[in-house]
Structure 1
Amino acid sequence: MRFIGMSLKAYFECFPCLLRQAIEAVNFLQVDDELKREILNDSMRIMIDIDPDLTSAEIAASIHRNIIQKVGGKDPYEKVKRESLKTAFEYYNDAKNLIASSSQPLETALKLCAAGNIIDFGPASEFELKRTMERALQEPFARFAFKEFMTALQKANSILFLADNAGETVFDRLLIEEIKRPLTYVVKKDAIMNDAIVIDAELTNFPEYVTIVDNGSAIQGTVLSQCSRDFVDRFEAADMIIAKGMANFETLPEEGKRTFFLLKIKCVPIAKLSGIPNGSFVVKQGGLFT
């Protein structure tokens, strides 16, 4: 990533990751070698010809739109997302027990929710949930704005929760069940890698006080210029925003104290820009530039 104005644009270190994600997607589809080569050639052309002022999330969206078009509309990650949900639910009861037995249930739920960001077939393609949950509860977070989170939660009349990946939604549910407040849960409108869409949120079985909406886009993170007017209105009106994952951290760098980012730092450029060690878990108040 690099700074242009007050936003994050793709840096050269992003491009190998973008290409790896394209290879991963075609492997999930199990297409023949000829189509694989065609898709990968297209992906490299997109990266060569792309507007240099675009974010890596926008470049990834162009690559994956092309992949989906080439394979007749099939979502490369559909099966992976179902498997991620299944795996996450296998740990749900254990996680609930950890929260119930904690002297600080909300704090424990917040840590486990951040730890759920390990469920990712983008920057980090392998995860082990049990070990990650244990680590999240035993090791200190690089940033952990729990007191600030509590204060914001007590004052907020409206809460917006920006989802990240399918499967990870189960860990979002753990936190939401401890928050015990009506809130709006935001997913993508259409498939983009393993990001959650409406069906993924519905399969997560959130409490009835959760309203599920999409943001009108199929771009990782939250690129407000590409979102629907309805979502932007909700975003601007929210008293508190909980934003999951590195893509939201990248695409909302100017967000202030109303926004809390829950994630694992998964790449060197973001680690350098944030001053947070790569591989660290984070609950941070405010974006990269605040």
Structure 2
Amino acid sequence: DIIAHAEEIIRFLHTTPWTHPMVASALHRAVYHRLNCDDPFYALKQASEEVSLKTLQSVSGRMRSFRDFVIASVIGNMFDYGVKDHEVSSDFVSYFDQEFAKGLAVDDTDRILPLCSDIIYFTDNCGEIVFDQALISWLVAHGSRITLVVRDRPILNDATMEDALRLGLEKQATRVYTTGAGVEHGIRFDLMSDELLLALDQCSLIISKGMANYESLREEQGLPPVAYLLAAKCDPIAEELGVKRGDKLALLRNA
């Protein structure tokens, strides 16, 4: 029984010192193996991309400034079926309008923009990268150099190289890398390629999308400035960041 097997794994993982993304990754690898399926979220990812493309087409006319494109990108982060108790609206255009009007609970965009010369951009969810693409287009048009990083293999609804290439993101980014970590949620520096590690040493800013990437990076020392673009979709992360669940953030942290 797959559910019983997953519960047994969770009991074991609670005894490890691993981060939340590492625990989630181990659980997903085990369940995917039992399911004999490399990408059980494939259909959901395709559907979320289609909805995001239609939504962006409807709302793109109102986005002009860097802040506007950041807000849209963070709203994209809310299009996530992988978080318990986080609901995704079936009318995403109306949802986008509502959230766009709310703006950001933490808004460091004025401090982030001057750092945007050479960016490492860690993506998160599949539908979300449609809105990331709009932000990346704005950044490139204003002189930014972008190294885009996607998941190495499918896990949850996270974006992979296949998803990035389907949208043509390789034509906008200077380079597209994977995290190099296989079926892994979040970021693992011990499994990164030498090329990506070198790019991290040389960049002016890391843009980190979503909660798993935030959890992976928050304890790392010696990083360049990190712009965390995320929605606080669960209570523990919201409490840690001092915001309410559902709030949107563009939070800059310097090492």
TM-score normalised over the length of structure 2: 0.89
Secondary structure, in 3 states, of the residue corresponding to 2:149?
strand
Question: How far apart in 1 are the matches of 2:171 and 2:164?
Answer: 12
Alignment correspondent of 1:189: 152
Alignment correspondent of 2:214: 249
1:254 shift after superposition: 3.6
Secondary structure, in 3 states, of the residue corresponding to 1:48?
helix
1:167 aligns with 2:127: yes
Gaps of 5+ in 1: 1-37
Alignment correspondent of 2:2: 39
TM-score normalised over the length of structure 1: 0.78
**Identical-residue share of aligned pairs (%):** 23
**One-letter code of the match for 1:79?**
A
Alignment correspondent of 1:110: 70
1:133 shift after superposition: 2.0
1:125 shift after superposition: 4.8
1:55 aligns with 2:19: yes
Report if the CA contact (8 A) 2:71-2:103 is conserved: no
Alignment correspondent of 1:17: none
1:121 shift after superposition: 1.3
**In 2 relative to 1, CA 140–81 (structure 1 residues): closer, same or farther, beyond 3 Å?**
closer
1:96 aligns with 2:60: yes
Alignment correspondent of 1:131: 94
Report 1:121-160 matches (<5 A).
121-123=81-83, 124-127=86-89, 128-153=91-116, 156=117, 158-160=118-120
1:96 shift after superposition: 1.9
Deviations 1:158-209 (A, max 9, x none): 2110000001110001101111233111001111111110011112222623
Report if the CA contact (8 A) 1:186-1:213 is conserved: yes
Report if the CA contact (8 A) 1:177-1:207 is conserved: no
Deviates more, 1:191-200 or 1:133-142: 133-142
**In 2 relative to 1, CA 55–88 (structure 1 residues): closer, same or farther, beyond 3 Å?**
same
Question: How far apart in 1 are the matches of 2:212 and 2:46?
Answer: 21
1:74 shift after superposition: 3.4
1:58 shift after superposition: 0.9
1:40 shift after superposition: 1.1
Deviations 1:144-168 (A, max 9, x none): 1011111212xx3x21100000011
Q: How many residues align?
A: 244
Question: How far apart in 1 are the matches of 2:200 and 2:7?
Answer: 34
**In 2 relative to 1, CA 225–126 (structure 1 residues): closer, same or farther, beyond 3 Å?**
same
1:229 aligns with 2:189: no
1:206 aligns with 2:169: yes
1:260 aligns with 2:223: no
Secondary structure, in 3 states, of the residue corresponding to 2:169?
coil
Secondary structure, in 3 states, of the residue corresponding to 1:91?
helix
Alignment correspondent of 1:66: 30
Question: How far apart in 2 are the matches of 1:71 and 1:137?
Answer: 39
Report if the CA contact (8 A) 1:216-1:231 is conserved: no
1:283 shift after superposition: 0.3
Could you say which structure has the greater relative contact order, defined with CA pairs below 8 angstroms and 6 or more residues apart?
2
Secondary structure, in 3 states, of the residue corresponding to 2:121?
strand
